[in-house]
Chains A and B, each alone.
Chain A
């Protein structure tokens, strides 16, 4: 995992009370595998926005399923800016 991916795993672990960090893989699906509910997702978005200094729209969130999707999205928007 690169630094961005590691940071994302940290943030996901911080939000999800019942999930241990060791169990979060890049291909873990955030809702199906890790059990995130809507409030967890909003909480994660706020932390990611703070950490990476960017905005994530609700439309973008719709497309994200896995931890890898989050990493890809953040790397893509960092290239754009």
Chain B
């Protein structure tokens, strides 16, 4: 019998701010975190807007100044989010049973800034001058390692690389480890920080990004007829997951429950989703089957909703196929309309938003949905948040490469 898995801690660092409360407040008030890029001079780029983690990012509560220079930006924001999630859970560290504590963290790309900087040094000064921290700052599995070092968590520990589904996959795998009894607690989620000339140019080359440079706050417009691509963003989301028994035995506050996980591959195309949405459909169906519920019991979907034509239509089709006529009764939102697309961190950030939506009975809006795409005719909660008492919600994450992940959440009882 699989064990129940509780969410007992959460942490967020996004372009909407630092901390879960700050993010939720911005989100339900429909505020966009997308701005003109400040981190570098983007004049040469086709796209000059992004969601940057801003000046309110204050790592000093958790990271000492000197430690920062040995951490890539994706590690800095990811570590702060993880510290928030551990602090909220109130876990005593180091734990007395350290091998029961897992850390599983996703990132689509990892330390791209560090690789870029290292490459500059290689070209300018030669191979003997390569800084020694390039590898530890570049690889995706170092952040779960750093979290383990900080807290003394000695159980299963790995990074997950799965493009825009990285952190959803990480959470799903952590959920399974706990459900199967292989760990009692897991810190899991994802982080991404690649906003820079290299990544902007590379995604522009794929024609994937919005170029609405004059109206940054209106650039991410999922399901809207006038969308023109996604908006790249930085961010990190981390959760503390815990078996119900473990959480209850120490009197922890339970914010929500993960009850299902579905994962599939389109086996179709390098960057395009299968147009009939079969893989996305099957991921959602598997998550419901895993959770032992019927489609009619789901009331909220936090859509992958990237603001690209291909994603938004395919995802809508997959939802309609699974839910039938009751698809029109679902409350759906794409919070990427406000956070932008944080690639490998998106699944975790949206897992937290889904948990909070169920907990507070509030559906975050999809902003900028002025003129719905005729092929996207579901209730995406345009412009303004909605109040709704909901028990079950799904969060979808789909990746370049064809990977589809759906996570099923239940409101804390």
Contact = CB atoms under 8 A, between A and B. Distances in A.
Contacts of A49: 129
Interface string B66-83: 110110000000000000
Given A14-B66, A17-B64, A43 B133 contact: yes
A49 B128 CA distance: 10
Contacts of B129: 46, 49-50
Max chain B C-beta neighbours (<10 A), residue from A16, A17, A49, A55: A17
Nearest to B132: A42
B57 to A, nearest CB: 20
Contacts of A14: 66, 69
A39 interface: yes
Contacts of B128: 55
A75 B149 CA distance: 39
Interface string B129-142: 10111000000000
Nearest to A17: B66
A46 B131 contact: yes
A46 B66 contact: no
Contacts of A39: 132-133
A42 B64 CA distance: 20
A73 B78 CA distance: 40
Interface residues of A, number: 12
Interface residues of B, number: 10
B137 to A, nearest CB: 11
A46 B67 contact: no
Interface string A8-46: 000000111100000000000000000000010011011
B128 to A, nearest CB: 6
A46 B132 contact: yes
Interface in A45-71: 45-46, 49-50, 55
Contacts, number: 21
Interface of chain A: mostly helix, strand, loop or mixed: helix
A36 to B, nearest CB: 13
A22 B192 CA distance: 37
Interface string B114-137: 000000000000001101110000
A2 to B, nearest CB: 25
Contacts of A16: 66
A43 B132 contact: yes
Contacts of A43: 70, 131-133
A43 B128 CA distance: 13
Contacts of B131: 43, 46
Contacts of B70: 43
A64 B181 CA distance: 51
Contacts of A17: 64, 66-67
A43 B137 CA distance: 13
A5 B19 CA distance: 42
B135 to A, nearest CB: 11
Interface string B50-71: 0000000000000010110110
A14 B64 CA distance: 11
Nearest to B65: A17
Contacts of B133: 39, 43
Nearest to A46: B131
A30 B132 CA distance: 18
B370 to A, nearest CB: 50
A53 to B, nearest CB: 10
A39 B67 CA distance: 13
A15 B128 CA distance: 19
B262 to A, nearest CB: 41
A16 B67 CA distance: 9
| A-B pairs with lowest CB-CB distance, top 3 | A42-B132, A17-B66, A46-B131
18 contacts: A14-B66, A14-B69, A16-B66, A17-B64, A17-B66, A39-B132, A39-B133, A42-B132, A43-B70, A43-B131, A43-B132, A43-B133, A45-B132, A46-B129, A46-B131, A49-B129, A50-B129, A55-B128
Interface of A: 14-17, 39, 42-43, 45-46, 49-50, 55
Given A43-B132, A45-B132, A46-B129, 11 more contacts: A14-B66, A15-B66, A17-B66, A17-B67, A43-B70, A43-B131, A43-B133, A46-B131, A46-B132, A50-B129, A55-B128
